[in-house]
A and B are shown apart, each in its own frame.
Chain A
C-alpha cells in the first residue's frame, strides 16, 4: 500500500467557482479513490477511478488519472458552501487490503 499526497494543503474559493485538487503517488496502482471529510466526521467515499480509466464523472465531480505521471485530480464544478470539507485521495496498489490516506486538501468555499 502507498500514501497519496494531496496538493494544495488548503484552498479557499468563492461559491460558484471551480475547485481543483491534485494527488500524486509513487508506485503503480489498480485504482485510486477520493474521499471527503466534513469537520469532526468520518470519511465518505466520493468516487473511484480504475487504472485503465482516464476520466470519470459523478454529478459535479470530475476525476482524472494520469498513470504516466502518477497523478490524479479532483475537480468540483460550481462549488457550494456545503462543499467545504477536507478531501483525501487513496491510491490502491491491490497487493494489500489497506488504504493509506494523506493529509488531505482543506477546501473552504466562501458564500
Chain B
C-alpha cells in the first residue's frame, strides 16, 4: 500500500503571507495526486488533481495553485493567503483506475490570521 507524507502538520500564517504545503508519496509510482480542503465540520472540497509530472487540473477558482515537480511530490502554494484559506488540507494518492482506493495523508491544519 501507499504512504502519504504531509508537512507541516499545523501552520499559522498571517493574511497576505505566502504558503507552501508539501506532499510526498511512497510505495507507488506514477500515481494520481489530489489536494482537498476541508472546512471545520464540513465535507472535502477537491482543489486540484494531477495525473503526471507538470500536469495540474484545477477544480475551483481560488487563491491557490498546485505544482508537481516530481512523480511523487505534490505542492500546494499561494502567493498571498486570505482568511478564507484557513482549513484542513489533505493530500491523496491513487493509481488512477476506476475502483482504486484513495490513500490520504495525515493533513495540514492551516490557520490564517
Contacts and interface: CB of A to CB of B under 8 A. Distances in A.
Contacts of A57: none
Interface of A: 30-31, 33, 35, 40-45, 48, 50, 88, 90, 92, 94, 97-104, 106
B98 interface: yes
A88 B42 CA distance: 11
Q: Which among B4, B32, B43, B101 has the highest number of chain A CB atoms within 10 Å? A: B43
Given A30-B98, A97-B94, A41 B49 contact: no
Contacts of B41: 106
Contacts of A88: 43-44
Contacts of A102: 43
Given A40-B109, A42-B4, A44-B104, A101 B99 contact: no
Contacts of B104: 42-44
B96 A42 contact: no
Nearest to B90: A42
A57 B105 CA distance: 26
Chain B interface residue count: which class? 20 to 34
Contact of B98 (A40, A44, A92, A106): A92
A88 to B, nearest CB: 7
B104 to A, nearest CB: 3
B103 interface: yes
B51 interface: yes
B43 A40 contact: no
A102 B42 CA distance: 9
Given A42-B90, A45-B102, A97 B51 contact: yes
Interface in B77-113: 88, 90, 92, 94, 96, 98-99, 101-107, 109
